[in-house]
Amino acid sequence: MDINGLVGQAKEGNKEALVQLIMAQKASYYRLAYVYTQNKEDAMDAMQEMILLVYQRINQLKNNDSFYTWSKTILVNIVKRRHKKNRKVVSMEEMKAETIEAYNSENRLDLEMYLNKLSYKHQEVIRLRYFLDLDYETMSQLLKIPLGTVKSRLHAGIKILKESFGGDYYGE
């Protein structure tokens, strides 16, 4: 697939070219949104909003080769904005039911419980690195923070998780 050519066509108003670009990475977009939202419907809503914004702002993209990084950054910004806007108290029963439905794994439930105790910034880098297997550079670009900040947040978050799990027993 010629990303550069498709982006050029999309900039000229070709909706099919934009659809092709989005569909080629739809699973990646969904996983990224889901890591943040932890909810299928919210992830899909965020993706829809991202597609609309990408369509509206495609001419602002300077480097056609960076389409996917640019569009994923838009998606991350959308889910972050929604998270801030929709902060609400969720009962433990609701959270437990959603978590069981989404993961259906006891180990995953334990991990989520410990992750939820971390700050949002630490959760974010851990989820991007270990749930989506993103490299540091990509995380830095998506989050619009320096590479060193990504590494320090990841290191601090892992350290806190290790302590939560029992420290030295689990690997150090």
List the single range of 3-7, 57-61, 102-106 with lowest mean pLDDT. 102-106
CA dist 117 and 123 (Å) reads 9
Has residue 93 got a pLDDT over 60?
Answer: no
C-alpha gyration radius of the chain = 18
Q: What is the value of pTM for the model shown?
A: 0.64
Q: What percent of the chain shows pLDDT beyond 90?
A: 54
CA dist 50 and 71 (Å) reads 7
Does the domain at 3-85 match CATH 2.60.120.10? Answer given as no
Give the other-Cβ count within 10 Å of 46's Cβ: 28
Q: Which residue has the higher pLDDT, 170 or 57?
A: 57
Q: What angle do CA 47, 145, 134 make, to 5 degrees?
A: 55
Has residue 61 got a pLDDT over 90?
Answer: yes
Tell me what pLDDT residue 39 has: 87
State which fold the 92-170 domain adopts: Arc Repressor Mutant, subunit A (1.10.10)
Tell me what pLDDT residue 103 has: 46
pLDDT, one tens digit per residue, over 13-43 is 999 999 999 999 999 999 999 988 888 999 9
10 burial via Cβ count (<10 Å: 0-12, 13-18, 19+): buried
CATH topology of 3-85 equal to that of 92-170? no
Domain ranges of the chain: 3-85, 92-170
CA dist 116 and 103 (Å) reads 15
Which among 160, 134, 135 has a CA at the least distance from the CA of 35? Answer: 134
Q: What is the mean pLDDT of residues 119-146?
A: 90
Tell me what pLDDT residue 106 has: 54
Strands (E), 39-93: none
